[in-house]
Structure formats: structure tokens, C-alpha cells
Amino acid sequence: MAKQAGRPRDPGVEASILGAVQDLLIESGYAGTTIGAVAQRARCGRSAIYRRWETKAELVVAAVGALQVAAEVPDTGTLRGDLVAAAMHFARADDRTAGVLASILSEIGRDDELRDIAYRVVGGPPVAALTAVIERWIDRGEVRADAPVALIAGLVPTAAFGSVSLRRRALEPDAVVHMVDEVVLPALR
């Protein structure tokens, strides 16, 4: 692929467009996220958007796919510390993610591509990180070997998402610690 002639695309434009889409999805929902509003928020022309994506649906898919929950696997030295750190991570980082996801939930019901991407965002890295944490402590003998790893690893992000999307507010740190102490730890030992 030879280097294209002509003025090169400004990578910053693409990033600011996707960010603007995410902002607008949270603030105004899918229907309220018009191409014109995106262009205004991203400080670009509408043509810059249509040059990159053919339809609004593709644009939204790209914006959702650009969400990435960093899947850090904490290592605090204690089981409780790791679990709290991992859970806290969702409650904070998922704030924006959950907002975007909540805004497209009704579209998810009818768009296979969107559903796959959304499920990959929530159900991928977070679950993998929690699974890694729990399995590590199984190896270390603090969690029983037949603990319901998949159940817990799926439950925490799902509950966090459900709560955030319904109440439209991030989980309090107290609530996260409470949940780990009262629900997650008893289920694992």
C-alpha cells in the first residue's frame, strides 16, 4: 500500500468525533445523537464524519467499540484487596461505559453487530480480570477449588451495570466494599 497523495487525515479529528458521539449518547440518547450535533461538539464539519463512516449506525458502532475498559489485574497481596480493587475499577471506569451502553440498550435489541460489540466491552475484559484474580487465589489456597468462579465474575460487572444504568450514578465506594465483604467473599470461601 503506497503512501496516499494529498492532505493526510488528522488523527485527532477521528478521536474527537468518537468522543463526541459517546458524550452525546450519554446526554441525549441515540435519537438525540444527530450527525449535526456530533460535528458541532467535535468542532468539525459534517463531511469529516461522512468521509469516515457511511451511516450513523456505523458511527455509533465505532464509538461503542472505542470504549475500552482496561482489564488490569490488581495484585494487592490480599484476596480481599484484589477483589475490592477489581470491583472498584468497574464502579469507576464503567461509569462512562455504562452510560453509553445504557443509551444504546434499545438499539442492541435489534442490531446484532451492536450487541456483539457491547457484550464484548462489558463481558470481556472485566470478567476476564475478575476470573484471573479469583483463580490466582485458588492457586494460593485462599479460595476453595470448586468456587463458582464464572458466576461471581459475571455477577459483579452485571450488578454494577444494572445499578448504574438504572440509577444513573456510579456505585459508592462503600457499597462496593460492602458487596465484596458480604457477598463475594462468603461465596468464595
Partner DNA sequence: ATGTTTCGGTACTGGTCAGTACCGAAAGTA
Partner DNA sequence: TACTTTCGGTACTGACCAGTACCGAAACAT
> Which residues of this protein are in contact with DNA, per CB under 7 A?
2-10, 13, 32-36, 39, 43-48, 50-51, 54-57
- How far apart, in whole angstroms, are the C-alpha atoms of residue 18 and residue 38? 9
> Which CB, 21 or 176, lies closer to DNA?
21
- Number of chain residues interacting with a copy of itself (CB under 8 A): 42
- How far apart, in whole angstroms, are the C-alpha atoms of residue 15 and residue 60? 13
Nearest Cα neighbor of 85 from 176, 165, 158 is 176
Binding mask 139-178 for a copy of itself (x = CB under 8 A): ---------x--xx--x--xx-xxx-xxxx---------x
- How far apart, in whole angstroms, are the C-alpha atoms of residue 153 and residue 136? 13
Could you say which residues in the range 17-76 bind a copy of itself, by CB under 8 A?
25-31
> Which CB, 46 or 178, lies closer to a copy of itself?
178
> Which CB, 45 or 173, lies closer to DNA?
45
Q: Which does 57 bind (CB under 5 to 8 A by kind): a copy of itself, DNA, none?
A: DNA
Nearest Cα neighbor of 73 from 122, 161, 119, 133 is 133
154 to each of 28, 133, 185, how far by Cα in Å? Answer: 29, 13, 15
What contacts 48, CB < 8 A, 6 or more positions away?
A: 13, 17, 39
Pick the stretch among 60-68, 76-84, 108-116, 137-145 that binds a copy of itself (CB under 8 A): 108-116
C-alpha grid cell for residue 137? 487465589
- Binding footprint of a copy of itself on the chain (CB under 8 A): 25-31, 99, 101-110, 115, 118-119, 122-123, 148, 151-152, 155, 158-159, 161-163, 165-168, 178-179, 182-183, 186-187
